[in-house]
Amino acid sequence: MLTNEYLKRVYAQVEKRDGHEPEFLQAVREVFESLELVIDKHPEWEKNALLERFVEPERVIEFRVPWVDDNGNVQVNRGYRVQYNSAIGPYKGGLRFHPSVNLSVIKFLGFEQCLKNSLTTLPMGGGKGGSDFDPKGKSDAEVMRFCQSFMTELYRHIGQFTDTPAGDIGVGGREIGFLFGQYKRIVDQHAAGVLTGKGLTFGGSLARTQATGYGLCYFSAEALKYLANTTYEGKTVVVSGSGNVAQYCAQKVTQLGGKVVAMSDSQGYIYDPNGVDLKKLFDIKQRRRARISVYADEVPGSEYHVGCRDIWNVKCDIAHPCASQNEMDEKGAQALVDNGCMAVFEGANMPLTPEAIAVVQKNGLLYSPGKASNAGGVATSGLEMSQNSIRMSWSFDEVDEKLHGIMKNIYKACYDASVECGKPGDLMLGANVAGFLKIAEAMLAQGVV
Ligand code: NDP
């Protein structure tokens, strides 16, 4: 509940203007609730209309993306780029290709991205983009033609000092390659820093593919150590999703001694009491691009269940939601609690509904929001840009070590802010406050812009 008059007033204004954007409202509300604890110390925010400015993206671009499918039919999708806030650096944030993409989703992701990028300590502002295009079931040639058309509009809005997109749901190495190829062709420059998540032969960084999932586990390991005096060793873990973040989260959990017993895609989930065979899973998802149900067809002793939301009924010690926003509701969170789960660390962006967060926190589970625990992806994108600028490539271990250090620092920043707010260990509060304070300071220093 919001009690501060200034926060209430700005939130009411957002509701009035953007009431038709539920995901955006949800993200703003969560952050405002955290800011309640510090707002009295910052009268300058109201004086400078700082929050009014922060809830308004600096620029929203929406565009037509026409392309021709393999049958010669013309298709039209809608493209977006929300350049949310550039106070601490050029806009940075992924592109999502998924049928559920709309302006509300892209604005919430851009808003969250600003706070996340601030937490990494690297000089990156926040942005996000994408399209309602669905790469699933499309041929490589169709994906290429779509990406070329998308970039034919996007190129004029981006640049290494302006806005530097990366991947997200539905945008992996294949799509980034096609997007970069078209950008390079149009501007006639190999400006590698304009996109991150590139292939290793043209400016990509080692460990970027693994970074979000690995970083999630590095962050979670810190929380387990300092808040519960324990580790992943011997823990049973459920990881939702089976895309980039989920795959490398599962791999790092396994390396750290945990056992991943369930994973999902948007159709259903698999349960493997022996621990998910990641070689098999990677083959199904990365090479064959097949449904996760194939896993149960091919691995004796495992089961497939239709319906991805029921994955939270699987008994576990630690849950890593790594699929999409609002994938865990109150019922899912309660099932975890009833089964004795001790921690929920988010890999996806905003995967828990506000009601699910309330259940998790009320029952004393450890909890971290995606904007803190999944920040390893964008942090390593920042490291990719550094390598592009100095025209060098660091080794896998060098990048991984830097990523590990960054995740430890993010944990510490969140924890320290939670202490300052009088709620030690409330990492959601800590992430929102620590992330916002830096942006606020930068915005104030730059005047009314
Ligand atoms: P991928 O496209 O690689 O994988 C997404 C996975 O989630 C797939 O298994 C997909 O299943 C499943 N999924 C997608 N939408 C839904 C849905 N509505 N309900 C249930 N399952 C769904 O994406 P990523 O792994 O890159 O991203 C996953 C999450 O992590 C997103 O929230 C993203 O914003 C966040 N993230 C990603 C980063 C990155 O570096 N990639 C960085 C930081 C955050 P299916 O194949 O059936 O669609």
390 within some domain: no
Q: Is the CB of 383 under 6 A from ligand 1?
A: no
Stretches in the chain below the pLDDT threshold 70: none
**Residues 214, 247: one domain?**
yes
Catalytic residue among 92, 107, 128, 252: 128
Phi, psi of 222 (to 5 degrees): -65, -45
Given 340, 373, 406, the domain boundary residue is 373
C-alpha to C-alpha distance for 445 and 443, rounded to whole angstroms: 5
295 within some domain: yes
Q: Which atom of ligand 1 is nearest to the CA of 171?
A: 2
**Residues 14, 35: one domain?**
yes
Q: At what angle do helices 22-35 and 354-362 cross, to 10 degrees?
A: 40
**Residues 363, 218: one domain?**
yes
Which residue in 32, 40, 30 sits closest to 9, CA to CA? 32
C-alpha to C-alpha distance for 238 and 164, rounded to whole angstroms: 33
Predicted pLDDT of residue 106: 98
Pair of tokens at residue 32: 């405002």
404 within some domain: no
Helix (H, G, I), strand (E, B) or coil at 110: helix
Q: Is the CB of 308 under 6 A from ligand 1?
A: yes
> Domain range spanning residue 115?
59-190
27 within some domain: yes
131 within some domain: yes
**Residues 34, 108: one domain?**
no
Residue nearest to atom 33 of ligand 1 (CA): 348
Which residue in 411, 432, 429, 373 sits closest to 222, CA to CA? 411
447 within some domain: no
**Residues 232, 328: one domain?**
yes
Cα separation values, 343 from 316, 321, 363, 403, Å: 9, 11, 10, 22
Q: Is the CB of 347 under 6 A from ligand 1?
A: yes
Neighbours of 38 (CB within 10 A): 18
Phi, psi of 196 (to 5 degrees): -120, 165
The 3-state DSSP composition of the chain as helix, strand, coil percent (nearest 5) reads 50, 15, 30
394 C-alpha vs ligand 1 centroid, how far in Å?
27
**Residues 102, 166: one domain?**
yes
Q: 128 catalytic, yes or no?
A: yes
Predicted pLDDT of residue 365: 98
Q: Which of 168, 325, 403 to mutate to test the pocket of ligand 1 (most atoms within 8 A of CB)?
A: 168
Predicted pLDDT of residue 1: 86
pLDDT tens column, 329-355: 999 999 999 999 999 999 999 999 999
Q: Which atom of ligand 1 is nearest to the CA of 211?
A: 40
Instruction: Return the ∠ at Cα 96 (arms to 93 and 291), rounded to 5°.
Output: 135
**Residues 91, 163: one domain?**
yes
Q: Is the CB of 348 under 6 A from ligand 1?
A: yes
pLDDT tens column, 123-153: 999 999 999 999 999 999 999 999 999 999 9
Q: Which atom of ligand 1 is nearest to the CA of 325?
A: 32
198 within some domain: no
**Residues 129, 176: one domain?**
yes
Q: Is the CB of 377 under 6 A from ligand 1?
A: yes
Pair of tokens at residue 255: 């390396």
Domains in the chain, number: 3
**Residues 17, 122: one domain?**
no
Q: At what angle do helices 354-362 and 330-338 cross, to 10 degrees?
A: 20
Q: Is the CB of 323 under 6 A from ligand 1?
A: yes
**Residues 355, 249: one domain?**
yes
322 C-alpha vs ligand 1 centroid, how far in Å?
6
321 C-alpha vs ligand 1 centroid, how far in Å?
10
Buried b (16+ CB within 10 A) or exposed e, 176-193: bbbbbebbbeeeeeebbb
Q: What is the CATH number of the domain that holds 168?
A: 3.40.50.10860
**Residues 42, 64: one domain?**
no
98 C-alpha vs ligand 1 centroid, how far in Å?
10
Pair of tokens at residue 394: 């660091």
**Residues 293, 367: one domain?**
yes
241 C-alpha vs ligand 1 centroid, how far in Å?
6
395 within some domain: no
